[in-house]
Amino acid sequence: MSQVEEGDYPVQGAGLGLRRVHFDSLADQFPAQIDFMEVAPENWIDVGGLVGHQFQAIAEQIPIVGHGLSLNLGGPAPLDEAFLCRIKKFLDRYNIRCYSEHLSYCADDAHLYDLMPIPFTEDAVHHVARRIKQTQEIIGRRMAIENVSYYAAPGKEMEEIDFINAVLDEADCYLHLDVNNIYVNSINHRYDPEAFLKALPGERIAYAHIAGHYFQAEDLRIDTHGAGVIDPVWHLLDVAYECFGVFPTLLERDLDIPPLEDLLKEVDIIHNYQRKYRLLDDGSISRQQA
């Protein structure tokens, strides 16, 4: 797979998750520092009425990426092809720039309403890679998979980093890099987050997430997306830009959502880190390589 050049990314700059609570603020004047927004397709497929019109208006103003919640890539049940056909129609209708999902499973006979860890085994690599390929065939485009947070590793036969890289290689898909998940997992599973990050294939990054989490204990962090981003996670994003060059990065906030102006302060921080690696001495812009 060829290196993703900056102009080839599905979106550019810094983004924010679209939440209905911010519709009125976005309608007044769309903030200039938001370069793209992210939605969970499951929350917007077939939504009509006033909310549907509001979403349509936003999609016409700014690039949108889709981050799925319920595809169940790692699960044992057959992929829901009817659901994927609805996803494809949604992606096409709103010109969704990228579709990503979690490298996890969330259902068997019914939905579990949580993201469960796929066993780090060779059999699981083949299983999930096959399902990613099937998904890509149905939606007619290459998708991205997100490295997830997890709190146990049942049936582990290989390291997390080796599992992720094997899936990416076999499925030939993009990586949706979650910087906070690397940090959270590094605390909970006691590994070096920078070494883990640098072992990922930066050329496959489509875009990234950065978020806050809950401090349960010194050796236990819970991935909540319910707080501000902490300094060690910002530092890890800085390391990622230094290692791979600047890639699109989105601020995730799903719980205890503050006013839009507070979230924009963190979006501004993303921009500041991106400028650090984009501006050369002569003022030109470059995607630096490690």
Q: Which CATH number belongs to the domain containing residue 236 in this structure?
A: 3.20.20.150
Q: By the 8 A CB rule, do 147 and 182 touch?
A: yes
251-267 pLDDT, tens digit per residue, is 999 878 899 999 999 99
Strand locations in the chain, DSSP E? Answer: 14-17, 36-39, 64-67, 99-102, 105-107, 111-116, 144-146, 174-178, 205-210, 214-217, 220-222, 249-251
> Is 170 inside a domain boundary?
yes
Q: What is the pLDDT of residue 211?
A: 94
Residue 2 falls inside a structural domain: no
Instruction: Decide: 69 and 42 in contact? Cβ < 8 Å.
Output: yes
pLDDT at 106: 56
Residue 47 lies inside a defined structural domain of this protein: yes
Would you say residue 283 has pLDDT above 60? no
pLDDT digit string, tens, across residues 112-161: 445 667 899 999 999 999 999 999 999 999 999 999 988 887 888 999 99
CA distance 235 to 240: 9
Q: How confident is the model at residue 1 (pLDDT cuts 50, 70, 90)?
A: very low
Question: In the predicted model, what is the mean pLDDT of residues 172-182?
Answer: 97
Q: How confident is the model at residue 108, as a pLDDT?
A: 58
In a domain, 39, yes or no: yes
- Would you state the pLDDT for residue 288? 39
Provide the phi-psi class of 134: left if phi over 0, else alpha when psi is between -120 and 50, else beta.
alpha
Is the residue at 4 inside a domain? no
pLDDT tens-place string over residues 5-17: 445 899 999 999 9
Stated as kind and residue range, the H or E segment containing 270 is: helix 260-278
If one counts the domains in the chain, the total is 1
What pTM was estimated for this model as a whole? 0.90
pLDDT of residue 224: 77
CA dist., res. 141 & res. 145, Å (int): 13
**Position 286 confidence tier, pLDDT thresholds 50, 70, 90:** very low
Q: Which of 37, 56, 59, 36 is nearest to 47 (CA)?
A: 56
pLDDT band of residue 70 (cuts 50, 70, 90) is confident
Instruction: Measure the CA–CA gap between 290 and 286, rounded to whole angstroms.
Output: 12
With residues binned 3-state (H G I as helix, E B as strand, rest as coil), the percentages for the chain, rounded to 5, are: 45, 20, 40
263 located within any domain: yes
**Residue range(s) defining the domain that contains residue 37:** 9-278
Q: Is the pLDDT of residue 73 over 80?
A: yes
Residue 59 lies in a domain: yes
pLDDT of residue 117: 77
* Neighbouring residues of 156: CB distance < 8 A, sequence distance ≥ 6: 119, 120, 121
pLDDT of residue 94: 95
Residue 289: inside a domain: no
